[in-house]
Structure 1
């Protein structure tokens, strides 16, 4: 998982950071922050209270851009570049409340196939899908969810996810 942003409350104190995920046999996921070459453990209590969104996108810059927007909107964000990465994130992070996935991912399974599996294994997870190559009406999705065309407006994605969180 990689997140990019700024640390510090005042603009003069801000410094860039990159979040790095590490796996351990003792803990499903340990999050660490790499800050100017120094690392410190991030206590789980520091991220509680935020809705966790899994972003699945094979294009790194597109994934990074929406992840930053979601984090700035107050969401906790996990990232994966493909089906296998998404399944690992979901298995290791029971706090995931929603998934925003690209339909056309390389290599392997599509975002639609991923969404079907997620719906079957984790029914409460809200699903928002996107594609720049095809348009799918919400009613035509093979699962309960929403679709947004690429290029999308991050504000619309954020609003859609918030609306989806309000439905049961």
Structure 2
């Protein structure tokens, strides 16, 4: 698989692991010393905007989505610059977060996001070395979820 296809696959697998609440799968996509940079508006009180280490990132990401009924991350285009065993890129995504409001109605907090990514090839596999989340805009709408 060429580098660009492998990096696109990595972005898709990251989204699928988050949506599937797959801690082991998500951990396998991150360099052990990876960094996650969150926008200040999304950082919970007492937490740091920069999370370092694969296990800490997985705990942060899955912890932030644990209260949601479901998530759906749709990965769109990527812009990539590959240089040997490192790469940098920007991955566009729409992130849907389905939750119940105070009245029990289902709502979707949808965010248009971009990940500013840095990648490193380790043992022949591309891994995320740094992921910075940028939120461009959002909306919050009522939704229907079959079987919910």
Higher relative strand content: 2
Greater relative CO, 1 or 2 (CA 8 Å, sep 6+) = 2
Taking structure 1 as the reference length, what is the TM-score of the superposition? 0.22
